[in-house]
Structure 1
Amino acid sequence: MRFIVHSDINHCYAQIEEMMHPDLKAVPMAVGGHEELRHGIILAKNDLAKASGVKTAMSLREARQVCPDLLIILPHYDDYIYYTTKVKDIYRQYTDAVESFGLDEAWIDLTHSQALFGDPVMIAQTIQKRVYEECGINVSMGVSYNKIFAKMGSDLHKKRGFDVIMPDNYQKIIWPLPIEDLFYVGVRTAPKLRARGIGTVGDLATMPKGIIKSFLGKMGEYLWYFANGYDESEVQPLYEGMKSVGNGITTCKDMNGLNDLKIVLTILCESVATRLKQAGLKGAVVRIGLRGSNLRYFSRQRKLERATNVSYEILDMAMTLVKENIRDGIFRSVNVTVSSLKKDDGVEQLSLFDDLEKHDCHKQLDQTIDAIRERFGYHAIGKAIVLEDQELADFNPLEENVIHPVGYLK
């Protein structure tokens, strides 16, 4: 049997700020936008702020209404990358099978670590203890026989929570959970399930698979397998051997001209940028591919001056390649890929000609959008350009890409 751990640095940004500045533990504090200008959202909060009603993705104004004494700290991303890398370096002392999922989360496969280190549950407890003693950071952990249940286990109890979910107890632990707690059930999917009387993970798991698929399509089939623990996907160290990150789509209708292409490319580039950040990567080469209504395929690529995982910079190069090579036309499908990957170590190598303020602005915008989508679902926020043709823009490449495929697909 496999032994997979999901480890989560609780309230990551806020916890790292408290670790660096212990006096912040004594006041309600959150990491968010610019305090004086009152814009932006809450990215993370400490326990005192949470107790006062502050929630992730709240606007600063809303947060101050529920907690007038709230202290807002501007994010220090370089520090967060540095310390989360130290934490993951501890994980890698026990196995090379460590898969990052954003800065604060990772799957760890301890199946083959038993020969050297003994009982996998004891190994996970040792790792949790070492992270706190050596880095001053609390992590919650879920131990299971698949990635989905391990992830859900780490969410059960925060602040050094530790839950073991195995074939003999998953129905008791997982099935009573509200359907919203199932991995990949977002704010748009949950109401569709609840409208059909599916309020818990167990309700979904015991419903005939064909019924779920009839109204949720292929994603419904994935969710049914997730709820029943039928997930054999491997823990993969994404930064090793990974050649590129990309997304593409054959649109529901033809893209007529450059503006339609930009609408779709905006969504694809956001997805690629998010997936790069989840893997802790940057890329230096942007490639686009287009297929016209005549089914002829066209592709171009170009190297950036520096590696990036900022969606605007990927989109800017993608549109540059489009504009330089085509003037107009009708297109059926499009894809964008970022390659020449490197680990995101938090170091920004900017030239004298770079617009640092613009770069930081778009970097923080990406972080804000990702935080809102993580809490409220993918369609909770989007760039204004997608409103120009909502039919063309009605797709979600992050979920439809299915980053963690279930084993039955093999």
Structure 2
Amino acid sequence: MDRVILHCDCNSFYASVETVLNPRLSAGPMAVCGDPKSRHGIILAKNEAAKKYGVQTAETIWQAQRKCPGLKLVAPHRDAYAEYSRRVNAIYQRCTDQVEPFGIDESWLDVTGSQRLFGTGKEIADRLREEVRRETGLTISVGVSFNKIFAKLGSDYKKPDATTVISRENWRDMLFPLPVTAMLYVGEAVRRELSGLYISTIGQLAAADPAQLSARLGKHGRQLHDYANGLDDSPVRRADAPREIKSVGNGMTFRRDLSGERELRTGIAVLSDEVAGRLRRYGLCAATIQLQIKDTRLRVISRQRPLPRPTALASELSGAAMELARASWDMALPVRMLTVTACNLVEASLASEQLSLFDESDPAGRGRRLNLERTVDSLRGRFGRGIIAPGSVVNNELMGYSQEEEE
């Protein structure tokens, strides 16, 4: 029997919450932005009226105001967004305990086992739309399908405040004509690569040669081919479900391509610092380090090596990752993205016991460095990550968009 998966997406979430908090904002176009007083701030969200003027998320305020001179601007209220996200997800949990948040304003729900109590997937979706609107003042769009990828496509298919069913019977007719960028995980860079293969629609992606896609995009190409053909069996994870962490990684796409060993070292240092902090938070150490490098053609190399001893020290992770880079990468080539991943994880207490028995290489020095990094963790917990950063990244224009990964 097919699963029944919902993807629920709050419509214009930030802007909608601001309108609930201040109903006067509902009249005319409005947008939430980082700094309403700065023309160089960016748009974080916009309401439906602003969308009609072509206002786009992430464009500068002056660009948005040029399109829409009467645009109302408000500063974000992040605590309120978190509270409304919690309230909306609590409504979802009345129908199923399998609710997986995907960002602050979206969630997947597996309602396969809930249909005897609450009706079909569409009936559950319509019920949730009505209850969210009545209890919070927000609207949601819901996709109903037999996998997570298609459910997400469904919630995007018709907005705002709509339910779209993508079934075994209609999915090809509905989805194959859509642009390939409508599908999850197809951004602008991937679109350009697919365009080079004369692929512009989901149907063309589904019909493409998987080997050709893999040659162009690596394993991501084959995964996208599976998604386009409805082959996604990834589970909906409960938000509170315990997970055995097998690896901890962090990847970053930089604001411009990295060039040369010095810039590569800077990027690796930032990522290693974040990975090490999360290892310490989880009480884990890494026995293996993995480095992935993506070039400007989106080709990826992946290298890994065992570490001399299990560690949660940023300096040791960074040093090992840099050794991998020197051994496997031409420093003259530009780098678009880096990912540093800690693998073969062991409990920190066990690693400490092993080190005390077998490690004679300056244990006191390692202990001092570990205490120092734990102090940094504490300061960041109290005052935010920006309170202390690696010296190489202070005022550095390279830092871009970071993505945490755990498996």
Give the match for residue 156 of structure 1: 157
Q: 1:8 is paired with a residue of what secondary structure? A: strand
Change (3 A) 1:33 1:216: same
Give the match for residue 341 of structure 2: 335
Offset, 1:151: 0.3
Give the match for residue 249 of structure 2: 247
Partners of 2:177 and 2:201 within 8 A in 1: yes
Give the match for residue 111 of structure 2: 110
Change (3 A) 1:50 1:269: farther
How do 1:169-184 and structure 2 match up within 5 A?
169-184=170-185
Kindly provide the amino acid, as one letter, of the partner of residue 86 in structure 2.
T
Give the match for residue 85 of structure 2: 84
Offset, 1:264: 2.0
Change (3 A) 1:144 1:402: farther
| Structure with higher RCO (Cα < 8 A, 6+ apart) | 1
Q: 1:142 is paired with a residue of what secondary structure? A: strand
Change (3 A) 1:258 1:54: closer
Offset, 1:195: 2.5
Change (3 A) 1:357 1:66: farther
CA offsets 1:344-395 (integer angstroms, 9 cap, x no match): xxxxxx9899547956xxxxxxxxxxxxxxxxxxxxxxx73469xxxxxxxx
Give the match for residue 30 of structure 1: 31
Kindly provide the amino acid, as one letter, of the partner of residue 301 in structure 1.
A
Q: 1:188 is paired with a residue of what secondary structure? A: helix
C-alpha distance in structure 2 between counterparts of 1:170 and 1:339, whole Å: 44
CA offsets 1:259-307 (integer angstroms, 9 cap, x no match): 755412434777999xx9xxxxxx67686664899955144338xxxxx
C-alpha distance in structure 2 between counterparts of 1:402 and 1:181, whole Å: 25
Partners of 2:44 and 2:57 within 8 A in 1: yes
Change (3 A) 1:270 1:162: farther
Partners of 1:139 and 1:160 within 8 A in 2: yes
Change (3 A) 1:111 1:271: farther
Could you tell me which runs of 5 or more consecutive residues in structure 1 were left unpaired when the two chains were aligned.
Answer: 250-255, 277-282, 303-317, 341-349, 360-382, 388-395, 404-410
Is the counterpart of residue 301 in structure 1 residue 302 in structure 2? Answer: no
C-alpha distance in structure 2 between counterparts of 1:357 and 1:272, whole Å: 13
Q: Work out which of the two has the higher radius of gyration on C-alpha atoms and give 1 or 2.
A: 2
TM-score (norm 1): 0.70
* RMSD (Å) for aligned C-alpha atoms: 4.0
The count of corresponding residues between Structure 1 and Structure 2 is 333
Once structures 1 and 2 are overlaid, which stretch shifts more, 60-69 or 78-87? Answer: 60-69
Kindly provide the amino acid, as one letter, of the partner of residue 231 in structure 1.
D
C-alpha distance in structure 2 between counterparts of 1:132 and 1:218, whole Å: 41
Is the counterpart of residue 263 in structure 1 residue 276 in structure 2? Answer: no
TM-score (norm 2): 0.70
How do 1:114-133 and structure 2 match up within 5 A?
114-133=115-134
C-alpha distance in structure 1 between counterparts of 2:122 and 2:180, whole Å: 27
Partners of 1:284 and 1:339 within 8 A in 2: no
Give the match for residue 146 of structure 2: 145
Q: 2:312 is paired with a residue of what secondary structure? A: strand
C-alpha distance in structure 1 between counterparts of 2:381 and 2:233, whole Å: 48
CA offsets 1:297-346 (integer angstroms, 9 cap, x no match): 144338xxxxxxxxxxxxxxx45x769xx799835695359999xxxxxx
C-alpha distance in structure 1 between counterparts of 2:403 and 2:250, whole Å: 11
Give the match for residue 370 of structure 1: none
Give the match for residue 200 of structure 2: 199
How do 1:59-70 and structure 2 match up within 5 A?
59-70=60-71
